[in-house]
Each structure stands twice: as structure tokens, then as C-alpha cells.
Amino acid sequence: MKKILLTTVLCGATAFAAVNLGACKACHGANFEKKALGKSKVVKDMTKDEVSKSMIGYKNGTYGGAMKGLMKGQVAKYSDEELSSTGLGK
């Protein structure tokens, strides 16, 4: 049982660590409190599900308005699983 729990925690931490949140903070603020370039939603006010769906949508080209092109480039290198497990949102 301990091995299963440890493996689950390590896999989750690895996926979380795989997304470079530092790059996100440059536009969204240190605590994700800003509207990026004055146009985006405030990430800290979004649910985890909303953040996951939006990031996957940016990657697939199915989500976004003014920032769609910019964000697609930011998330393209990540898998859907990595984007789903960033830990961002409420």
C-alpha cells in the first residue's frame, strides 16, 4: 500500500513539476492575480477544471480569444496530462 501511495505522489509531483509555472508568472503575476496583458481571466479566480480545460483548449486551438495564438505556443510542448495536473485553480 505504501508503494502505491508513494508512486502516486511521485507521479503527480513529476507531472506538476513538468509545467514551467515560472513562465506563466511573467504575465499572470507571482500569485496568478493579474489579467495577462490586461486581456485574460485572472487564473487564481478560476477552478482547477477551468484552468485544465482552458490550457488543453489553447493547445488544441479550441479555446481562447485575443491570447489564443500566444498561449498555444506556450502550452504546445506539454501533454494533456501535464496540463491537467498543474495544480492551478481553486
Q: Where are the domains of the chain?
A: 2-84
Give the pLDDT mean for 17-37.
89
Is the pLDDT assigned to residue 13 strictly greater than 90? no
Q: What is the model's pLDDT at position 1?
A: 53
Question: The C-alpha cell of 3 is what?
Answer: 508503494
Q: Taking the complete model, does pTM exceed 0.85, yes or no? A: no
What is the rounded CA–CA span in Å between residue 11 and residue 5?
Answer: 10
